[in-house]
A and B are shown apart, each in its own frame.
Chain A
Amino acid sequence: GAVVSQHPSWVICKSGTSVKIECRSLDFQATTMFWYRQFPKQSLMLMATSNEGSKATYEQGVEKDKFLINHASLTLSTLTVTSAHPEDSSFYICSARDTHTGYEQYFGPGTRLTVT
Chain B
Amino acid sequence: AQSVTQLGSHVSVSEGALVLLRCNYSSSVPPYLFWYVQYPNQGLQLLLKYTSAATLVKGINGFEAEFKKSETSFHLTKPSAHMSDAAEYFCAVRMSGGYNKLIFGAGTRLAVHP
Which residues of A come within 8 Å of B, CB atoms? 4, 6, 32, 34, 41-44, 46, 49, 51, 57, 91, 93, 95, 97, 102-110, 112
Contact B90 A109 (CB under 8 A): no
Contact B43 A107 (CB under 8 A): yes
Provide 17 A-B residue pairs closer than 8 Å at the C-beta atoms, listed in order of the A residue: A6-B43, A34-B99, A43-B104, A43-B106, A44-B90, A44-B104, A46-B101, A51-B99, A95-B44, A97-B99, A97-B100, A103-B32, A103-B100, A104-B46, A104-B49, A107-B44, A110-B42
Inter-chain contacts of A57 with B (CB < 8 A): 99
Inter-chain contacts of B106 with A (CB < 8 A): 42-43
Report the bound CA distance from A109 to B38 in whole Å: 10
Which residues of B come within 8 Å of A, CB atoms? 32, 36, 41-46, 49, 90, 94, 99-102, 104-107, 109
Given A104-B49, A105-B102: A43 touches B107 (CB 8 Å cut-off): yes
Beyond A43-B107, A103-B32, A107-B45, 13 additional pairs, beta carbon < 8 A? A42-B107, A43-B90, A43-B105, A44-B44, A49-B101, A51-B99, A97-B99, A102-B100, A103-B94, A103-B100, A104-B46, A104-B49, A106-B46
